[in-house]
A and B are shown apart, each in its own frame.
Chain A
Amino acid sequence: KNQVEQSPQSLIILEGKNCTLQCNYTVSPFSNLRWYKQDTGRGPVSLTIMTFSENTKSNGRYTATLDADTKQSSLHITASQLSDSASYICVVRPNSGAGSYQLTFGKGTKLSVIP
């Protein structure tokens, strides 16, 4: 069964500090992995996408890494801001074929940035 496990479940950090969120997946073969940010009461918004051949992808203060051999990804947030408080969701798409649109979502990491 395809699974995506995220850790930690929740995290509290001080404003200005860095943090790293983890995602382990069992989806194989896989096409790509996305990190989404979900603010409270809103729908998820895509931050980054990585294919199996990519190791790192940045979007401003967000940097995602991918190790396709160990099936692990991380999302690093630099110089955190209060507006980074949200849930971060790791989403994996299986390789192209029937049902490849059926994405596997992690449960998310709830990040709280405090002043």
Chain B
Amino acid sequence: GAGVSQSPSNKVTEKGKDVELRCDPISGHTALYWYRQSLGQGLEFLIYFQGNSAPDKSGLPSDRFSAERTGGSVSTLTIQRTQQEDSAVYLCASSLSLANEKLFFGSGTQLSVL
């Protein structure tokens, strides 16, 4: 596609429910990143995928968070048993490769946990 696409744009859920966030990167981009942006905070790295290599999950805040990337393209970020502190904007970005780290971001998913 022309840009990074994320869905849904907004998600309101109840505490304890699971949510799935989707990211469709730019075609041909081998690297894909998930970040979390909380109000007044800098972007927080969550997870990184590069081609067929094992993802770097070092930024995931707890085992309630997981992500996968199928076929080297679309990625889903899953948050299980959501907590109120999970409320944030979840941004996905892609880049041509690790060497070229100019990131192209999606518009994000605003997650609100009530």
> Measuring CB to CB, which residues of chain A are less than 8 angstroms from any residue of chain B?
4, 34, 41-46, 49, 89, 93, 99-108
Whether A49 lies near B42 (C-beta < 8 A) is no
Question: In the assembly, what is the distance between CA of A30 and CA of B106, in Å?
Answer: 26
Main secondary structure of the interface of B (DSSP, over half): loop
Question: In the assembly, what is the distance between CA of A82 and CA of B83, in Å?
Answer: 38
Chain-A contact segment, one of B13-21, B63-71, B73-81, B96-104: B96-104
Of the candidates B42, B58, B98, which one forms a contact with A105 in the assembled complex, judged by CB atoms under 8 Å apart?
Answer: B42
Whether B42 lies near A106 (C-beta < 8 A) is yes
Whether B108 lies near A49 (C-beta < 8 A) is no
Question: In the assembly, what is the distance between CA of A4 and CA of B41, in Å?
Answer: 12
CB within 8 Å: A-B pair count: 51
Main secondary structure of the interface of A (DSSP, over half): loop
Q: What are the residues of chain B within 8 A of A45 when measuring CB–CB?
A: 105
Whether B42 lies near A101 (C-beta < 8 A) is no
Nearest chain-B residue to A93 (Cβ)?
B101
Q: Does B113 contact A (CB under 8 A)?
A: no
Nearest chain-B residue to A6 (Cβ)?
B42
Question: In the assembly, what is the distance between CA of A46 and CA of B42, in Å?
Answer: 16
